[in-house]
Amino acid sequence: MERKMEENTVREAQTVSESGGEDALVGNVNKLMVSPPGYSGAPRKGHLVFDACFESGNLGRVDYISDFEFDLFIRPDTCNPRFRVWFNFTVENVRETQRVIFNIVNFSKTKSLYRDGMSPVVKSTSRPKWQRLPPKNVYYYRCPDHRRNYVMSFAFCFDREDEVYQFAYCYPYTYSRLQHYLASLERRNLPYLQRELLGLSVQQRRLDLLTITNTEHLDPEREKKLVFLTARVHPGESPASFVCQGVIDFLVSQHPVAQVLRDYVIFKIVPMLNPDGVYLGNYRCSLMGFDLNRHWQDPSPWAHPTLHAVKQLIVQMNQDPRVSLEFYIDVHAHSTMLNGFMYGNVFEDEERVQRQAVFPRLLCHNAPDFSFSNTSFNRDVVKAGTGRRFLGGLLDDTSYCYTLEVSFYSYMTAGSNVPVAYTEETYMKLGRNVARTFLDYYKQNNHIKDNTCQMSEVTAQTADRKGGAAEKEASDREHVRSVRN
């Protein structure tokens, strides 16, 4: 068995990626059939075949324990053995009604939402929608057989022989998925959306920048308010991409609130800061093993090209007297806490501290899954190289820098103690609510006329109640005329 694993690793190390010639997936198992020790006959149904040699895949090793139990080892981040959290793999050649226990045995973190009911997600060939496994089938415990490391075990019953089953830590959102999404946006030829190539990663993947604003309506005599949003600096934090897509979907929509926001605000969005890490199936690091969210102070154009490009752009915009960079929000996912929440900075000026709390308070009103009580403001030394901390020190006192976190697992609404598991859709809904909150913020600050806001809110509520597409479009058109006039 060990010889088979070694041969498989050698084969995988020789794999050449189609996307540019790099050894993109080194260390992942590649169509590895796991049969009982000493077995030498023809493969049988039930001799499971494991594979993680695909985009965002991660599974480094499989040990046969018995016919119904297997120890699975997460492949560490490339060039950085410290991080072993994300997994994403397929299983095939199953036997109908075959019951198995999979033990993920080498997590690098001890604290985990698996203690609180989180479970992996699964899909199969004929059922392509991801579902969470029942929490009662998942166990998280210290294991004496693995040096008392924490192990996550889950039980599963394969029900269809010809299916390929896929298991993951959380809903994957790949680099290719983002590229398909951005290409579909481009094809719509929206006059208020611009997509640019801001730079390339080490492995020559795109670093995309979206600009969303109505350039015709912006007053040239008035300082332009700018909101900058980034996501997926940590590649295994896939919920961040769903939140980011929710923001984008809302801002490019015909929703009345989105139309008003585009008239008054410029939104710049970098949806994937670490495309190589996402592609490779890393949890926290880039191809070269760097945690990019610790290198904002002095990013290298060679080692951290995506971060370097984004920082240069932000510094350049901050020096432009015609632009007021008001918000920087970096979207992440959290592995030990529930709900959405924010981290902010600590300042000596008490008034600035109070002003910084305004946006998360407003978001709390708009998003039932957002927790202001979990939101905190700090200046930990270890966070000095993060985007939030570095830009908080660089930008002036009218700018606010936040990390937006969302749980890998679930949220609890006010007055309830029953966690509700996040889905792809509810992650995106949080993003839509983040976008809507900018209207409330700029209404409070008198940047957007109050009567405009009231009209947009009434129109939006009417459209939401009507529900029909035709009625909503008519309502939106009426709103646009009233605002423009």
Instruction: Name residues whose C-beta falls within 8 Å of residue 430's C-beta, 6 or more positions apart in sequence.
Output: 243, 246, 340, 367, 369, 370, 406
Cα–Cα distance for residue pair 349/342, rounded to 1 Å: 20
Distance CA 375, CA 360 (A): 8
DSSP state of 159: -
Pick the closest to residue 192 from 241, 108, 259, 107 (CA basis).
259
Nearest to 450 by CA among 461, 459, 442, 458: 442
Task: Verify whether residue 405 is a known catalytic residue.
Answer: yes
Give the C-alpha separation, 354 to 356, whole Å: 5
Report how far residue 365's alpha carbon sits from residue 353's, in angstroms, rounded to the nearest whole number. 20
CB atoms within 10 A of CB 179: 15
Give φ, ψ of 131 to 5 degrees.
-130, 150
Cβ neighbours of residue 153 closer than 8 Å, sequence gap 6 or more: 101, 102, 103, 104, 138, 139, 140, 141
Q: Which one of the listed residues 92, 237, 326, 405 is annotated catalytic?
A: 405
Hey, how many other C-beta atoms are within 10 angstroms of the C-beta on 252?
Answer: 18
Tokens representing residue 270 in the block: 């970098």
Q: Contact, 132 vs 120, CB < 8 A? A: yes
Q: How many CA atoms lie within 13 A of 440 on its CB side?
A: 15
Catalytic residues: 405
